[in-house]
Amino acid sequence: MRRTSVKLADGRELIYFDERSDAVREGPDRRDLPPPPPASQLRYDPLVDEWVAIAAHRQSRIFLPPTDQCPLCPSTPDRHSEIPAYDYDVVVFENRFPSFSDRPGDPPGQVTPYTALRPAAGRCEVVCFTADHHASFGTLAPARVRTVLEALADRTAALSGLPGVEQVFCFENRGVEIGVTLHHPHGQIYAYPFLPPRSRAMLTAAQRHAERTGGRNLYADVLAAERAAGDRVVAENEHWTAYVPAAARWPFEVHLAPHRPVPDIPGLDDAERDAFGPLYLDLLRRLDALFDRPLPYISAWHQAPVHAAPGLGHLHLQVFSIRRAADKLKYLAGSESAMGVFINDIPPERAAQMLRDLA
């Protein structure tokens, strides 16, 4: 794989990850762009001990453009997109409308004596999986999935080294039901300057389990229990298992986890990276076959926090959908949205069986 970093017209970084070692990436970005926006605000919510990003500039981001105006397709002689090249394999670039960035913003201060304010430092990147606008992650070849994984490993390592970054989150949103505003197959990477609520809760649970069990890894123990039970396992290979969690929140939710407890994507070895693609592609095809239509989903990599103590994290991919039937969606209404208490309509064992039957 060949890695080439270039600068876009407004100074943002773009990185080509090419599968050919002789690829040449010298074409300039010929657009006339305004400077990137300043950093968003972070405001502290003292009632729940959480940070909220206020990113007003994102109101002007591109929303469901027609195919011939897609900013993630390669450039052509007649139209310049976010990617200057006329073709590409995998591309990562700084988001033009970031929620978090390393550019100057409002200085730290207070909105009230209880609500602190500070710049939303960090970084947001876009990951384009393919130049083919009409593809999806599930239609990629295993070799391309491996290239995407290499790009995510590269970016996780780089972003983890930025000052103030506490968590690197790689994810893909798919489907307008999820809130996708660009149809081109792509994902995103957020480098947060704080621990997100779910990461903090998982880290606290892992620490508590380690203290009770003499240092055992909580996720590794949960994974072993799921593999032993078997009734929620969807598929597996030598290095990975895909299973529906016993306490799944979503109608269809699957975790893909490596058998070896590595903290993050860079920690995967070559055999684990090779084995991931075939199993994940198999799962995505099953999900699309559930209702004989493309399934809206969120695919979220849970990595150990940047500064977590060794041995607490266990990398895993959480894939879930809000679709609970061919003609019904799972809405986050009163209990879920206001109180954070999920109510699942489909028993996890039933969801696992439905996915197993689609082999």
The residue among 227, 249, 225 whose CA lies nearest residue 238 is 227
| Token representation of residue 227 | 């593999």
Contacts with 35 (C-beta within 8 Å, 6 or more apart), sequence order: 10, 11
Q: Looking at the annotation, which residues are catalytic?
A: 186
3-state SS assignment for residue 129 = coil
CA–CA dist 143, 131 (Å, integer): 15
The residue among 266, 264, 268 whose CA lies nearest residue 305 is 264
AA identity, residue 327? D
Contacts with 57 (C-beta within 8 Å, 6 or more apart), sequence order: 37, 40, 97
DSSP lists the bridge partners of residue 299 as 172, 319
Q: Are 100 and 193 spatial neighbours (Cβ–Cβ below 8 Å)?
A: yes
Place of tokens 């990185």: 15
Contacts with 349 (C-beta within 8 Å, 6 or more apart), sequence order: 231, 232, 244
* 210 Cα distance to chain centroid: 27
Contacts with 265 (C-beta within 8 Å, 6 or more apart), sequence order: 149, 152, 153, 156, 170, 301, 303, 315
3-state SS assignment for residue 187 = strand
